[in-house]
Homo-oligomer: A and B are copies of this chain.
Amino acid sequence: MDWLPTYRRELLAGDINAGIIVTIVLIPQAMAYAMLAGLPPQVGLYSCLLPIMLYALFGSSRSLAIGPVGLVSLIVGSTIIEMNLQGQAQTLTVAVTLACMSGILLLLMRILKLGSVINFISHPVLSGFTSAAAILIILSQLKHLLGLETPRAIHLPEALTTITTHLNETNLTTAMLGIGGIAIMWLLRRLADSKQSTNLINILARTGPLIIVSSGIVIVWWLALDKTANVNIVGAIPAGLPTLSIPSIDIAMIRELFPAAFIIAIVGYLGNISVAKTLATRKRQKIDADQELLAHGICNLGASISGGYPIAGGFGRSMVNYESGANTPMASVITAALMSVALLFLTPLLYFLPHSVLAAIIIVSVSTLIDYRAFKHAWLYDKADALALLVTFFMVLTLGVEVGILTGASLSIGIYLHRSSKPHVAVIGRVGDSEHFRNVDRFKVKTCEHVIAMRVDENLYFSNTNFIEDAIINLIAENQQAKHLVIVCSSVNMIDASALEALDSIVDRLRQAGVTMHLAEVKGPVMDRLEKSPFLQRLQPGQVFLSTHEAMMKLGCGLGN
């Protein structure tokens, strides 16, 4: 909120401009995403009022545009389908409860300082999830785009079967409206991506949704396509602002919704923070991940008490906001005010809006999320990370978002632990008569028979204690003359309790084999913690040397040897 006291009049023009343009983008998007989530269109609009105001007050990013987003709407939608609810009232309760729960979870993560949970989702997993979710979203919209009367399907195989078996029932008029909409938006976007593009064209491309929405409404109304050609339309949207109410709490429902709420909180927050970072760097502004966690939690709580569903910062919208000149969160305040006006007076205008146009907007928005290059890059750089991406992708497609993300995250973590469980370990020797020491396998270096220096290129922690123990045992077996072992810790940033215990027992065992263990080049923070434990006493007569050179000199493996 530091922007408010220092607000100057000359910032207003940009903010008003951005506020208007974002509203134009937001109205059709909010309705479309509500449809994706299986909710009535006004719920999408409600989600744009209070949360936007709250983000202006609590958010750390100056141009982030809060509102319904595709990935979160997909999760809400599939949760609703999976729960097999009866009637709209229950559907709304689930949506509001999800917003409330993910808001509370985000606040808890902030209070308990557990924000780092989001770090457990690696990029490959996020990328696999995003691509799969985009495909699921597009498939779910085909029925609206083509005017099919099929039940909603959430996983890939059933969705594909449903669509293909009903393809012959396509409503041609509906399909033309939808596909025409896609074509217009695609052309506008190509224009914006072309080299002659200016900021103005860029913004025009972003208003593509408004163009096809208004044309769609006019065409349907003019030709009365809802009656003559059975085109599905949005119909009557209740006018007026949402009433504020505390959502009622149902313990059984909370338990059932927990996994979905957790994933919504994480996915929404990850989206938020990534948009915020992109925008902050451009203007060399700071960002505060903890403040963002708080703001995102408050916004979701705001959505839930004002009849909305879970929201997040949208990348496209935020870019529009930034590029159309938003200087401060005042732009968002203006957006919220305009949204209220729309809700109060403009809903009758949306009566004839065809569903297929909304489907077109969703399809065009999310199609950019399918990112096969991410897989290619991961494959080139790291096969294991590419595997995590692929597994997440297919699991999300076939078994759903929660299972997919949790499996992918576990796999990523497993891959990391597996990798660091076999760290690079090198026996090192002196380079010429210098104070430098290098790997004996790669360089021509001098070593001594009675002193072995071993460098471990990894943190010492539970995942690699077994490997290091084995390495030391085998090293001592191979060098029967060795009397001293120096472990060089120049690459060790952390020694955990498991590794400390392992080192402790290695010291004992080596002593029985007539070998004294020493440490060298222990980093400050690692040494600070070692000094708190009895390990250094137990290491004696073994010592901690500042450098490998010092160790070698004092252990009788000096320059003369």
Question: Bound complex: CA of A423 vs CA of B382, how far in Å?
Answer: 23
Interface residues of A in 475-517 (CB under 8 A from B): 476-478, 480, 491, 493-494, 496-498, 500-502, 505-506, 509-510, 512-513
Contact yes or no, B476 A281, CB < 8 A: yes
Interface residues of A in 384-406 (CB under 8 A from B): 385-386
Contact yes or no, B462 A501, CB < 8 A: no
Question: Bound complex: CA of A501 vs CA of B513, how far in Å?
Answer: 48
Question: Bound complex: CA of A457 vs CA of B459, how far in Å?
Answer: 10
Mark interface residues in A317-332 (1 if CB within 8 Å of B CB, else 0): 0000000000000000
Interface residues of A in 459-474 (CB under 8 A from B): 459, 461-467, 469-470, 473-474
Chain B residues contacting A458 (CB-CB under 8 Å) are 459, 493-494
- Please give the distance in Å from A475's CB to the nearest CB on chain B: 9
A interface residues, how many (CB within 8 angstroms): 79
Chain B residues contacting A278 (CB-CB under 8 Å) are 505, 509
Residue of B nearest to A423 (CB): B493
Contact yes or no, B381 A532, CB < 8 A: yes
Q: Please state the number of chain copies in the assembly.
A: 2
For residue A370, CB closer than 8 A to chain B, the reply is no
Contact yes or no, B287 A467, CB < 8 A: no
Contact yes or no, A500 B381, CB < 8 A: yes
Counting chain B CB atoms within 10 Å of each CB, the highest count among A277, A500, A532 belongs to A277
Contacts A281-B476, A462-B119 given; indicate if A416 touches B496 (C-beta within 8 A): yes
For residue A377, CB closer than 8 A to chain B, the reply is yes
For residue A218, CB closer than 8 A to chain B, the reply is no
Chain B residues contacting A466 (CB-CB under 8 Å) are 118-119, 273, 289
For residue A190, CB closer than 8 A to chain B, the reply is no
Interface residues of A in 17-59 (CB under 8 A from B): none
Chain B residues contacting A501 (CB-CB under 8 Å) are 123, 374, 377
Chain B residues contacting A470 (CB-CB under 8 Å) are 277, 287, 289
- Please give the distance in Å from A561's CB to the nearest CB on chain B: 23
Contact yes or no, A287 B474, CB < 8 A: yes
Contact yes or no, A281 B513, CB < 8 A: yes
Contacts A281-B510, A473-B286, A494-B420 given; indicate if A462 touches B116 (C-beta within 8 A): no
Judged by DSSP, the binding face of A is helix
Interface residues of A in 98-125 (CB under 8 A from B): 116, 118-124
For residue A412, CB closer than 8 A to chain B, the reply is yes
- Please give the distance in Å from A322's CB to the nearest CB on chain B: 12
Chain B residues contacting A491 (CB-CB under 8 Å) are 491, 493
Mark interface residues in A264-308 (1 if CB within 8 Å of B CB, else 0): 000000000100011011111111010000000000000000000
- Please give the distance in Å from A436's CB to the nearest CB on chain B: 13
Contacts A280-B477, A424-B525, A509-B278 given; indicate if A463 touches B119 (C-beta within 8 A): yes
Question: Bound complex: CA of A285 vs CA of B478, how far in Å?
Answer: 8
Contact yes or no, A533 B381, CB < 8 A: yes
Chain B residues contacting A381 (CB-CB under 8 Å) are 497, 500, 529, 532-533
- Please give the distance in Å from A379's CB to the nearest CB on chain B: 9
- Please give the distance in Å from A303's CB to the nearest CB on chain B: 24
For residue A4, CB closer than 8 A to chain B, the reply is no
Question: Bound complex: CA of A501 vs CA of B130, how far in Å?
Answer: 15
- Please give the distance in Å from A167's CB to the nearest CB on chain B: 38
Contact yes or no, B119 A465, CB < 8 A: yes
Interface residues of A in 188-245 (CB under 8 A from B): none
Q: Which of B277, B382, B416 contacts A529 (CB 8 A)?
A: B382
Contact yes or no, A465 B123, CB < 8 A: yes
Question: Bound complex: CA of A277 vs CA of B473, how far in Å?
Answer: 8
Contact yes or no, B277 A497, CB < 8 A: no
Chain B residues contacting A283 (CB-CB under 8 Å) are 513
Mark interface residues in A517-552 (1 if CB within 8 Å of B CB, else 0): 000000101000100111000000000000000000
Question: Bound complex: CA of A182 vs CA of B434, how far in Å?
Answer: 63
Chain B residues contacting A342 (CB-CB under 8 Å) are none
Chain B residues contacting A473 (CB-CB under 8 Å) are 277, 280-281, 286-287
Q: Which of B412, B417, B525 contacts A120 (CB 8 A)?
A: B417
Residue of B nearest to A127 (CB): B501
- Please give the distance in Å from A533's CB to the nearest CB on chain B: 4
Counting chain B CB atoms within 10 Å of each CB, the highest count among A118, A124, A474, A493 belongs to A493
Question: Bound complex: CA of A501 vs CA of B122, how far in Å?
Answer: 10
Chain B residues contacting A461 (CB-CB under 8 Å) are 122, 416
Contacts A122-B462, A382-B529, A465-B123 given; indicate if A480 touches B116 (C-beta within 8 A): no
Residue of B nearest to A289 (CB): B470
Chain B residues contacting A505 (CB-CB under 8 Å) are 278
Residue of B nearest to A286 (CB): B477
> What 16 additional pairs, Cβ within 8 angstroms, besides A289-B466, A378-B497, A491-B493?
A116-B422, A119-B462, A120-B417, A121-B462, A122-B462, A123-B462, A123-B465, A280-B473, A283-B513, A284-B480, A289-B470, A377-B501, A381-B500, A386-B497, A412-B462, A459-B459
Listed by A's residue number, 6 A-B pairs whose Cβ atoms lie within 8 Å are A116-B422, A120-B417, A120-B463, A122-B498, A283-B513, A419-B494
| A-B CB proximity, top 3 nearest | A122-B462, A385-B497, A123-B498
